Amino acid sequence: MAEIDRQIIETRYRQLYDGMVRKDITLLNEVLDSAFVLRHMTGLRQSKAAFLRAIEDGTLNYFSADHRDIQAELHGDTAVLDGKSVVSAAVFGGGRSTWRLQLRLTLIRGEDTWRITEAKASTF
């Protein structure tokens, strides 16, 4: 069972980026828990609603993500995933750049599947 959970959790990481790149709010709503918070490198904290608005309105624009390393740890009904990806993005009015982004995700197992409750961004 743990291996299946690990695969689902790693898939959630990929789906998060896929939703961000495609601006697929339906997919992001599936992947993100209602209590989701994104902690940007700057320290800015965005709620799920604010994050989804920023994706929709172009405040956060993601063009591609090349996943380099994904490590997940299970702890019962919670999990932590550290993902490293090279990401092409233009955010908060800046020009398009390539970032070596590390996201530390916290996930919880709900009644039907795993959902992301927090993402903390840094560089690697």
Q: What is the pLDDT of residues 16-54, one digit of tens each?
A: 999 999 999 999 999 999 999 999 999 999 999 999 999
Domain boundaries, the chain: 2-123
CB proximity list for 9: less than 8 A, separation 6 or greater = 72, 74, 79, 81, 107, 114
Mean pLDDT across 60-78: 97
Nearest to 106 by CA among 2, 12, 7: 12
How confident is the model at residue 1, as a pLDDT?
58
Q: Which residue(s) pair with 68 in the sheet?
A: none
| The pLDDT value given to residue 88 | 98
pTM: 0.95
Distance from the Cα of residue 14 to its chain's centroid? 8
Tell the CATH topology of 2-123: Nuclear Transport Factor 2; Chain: A, (3.10.450)
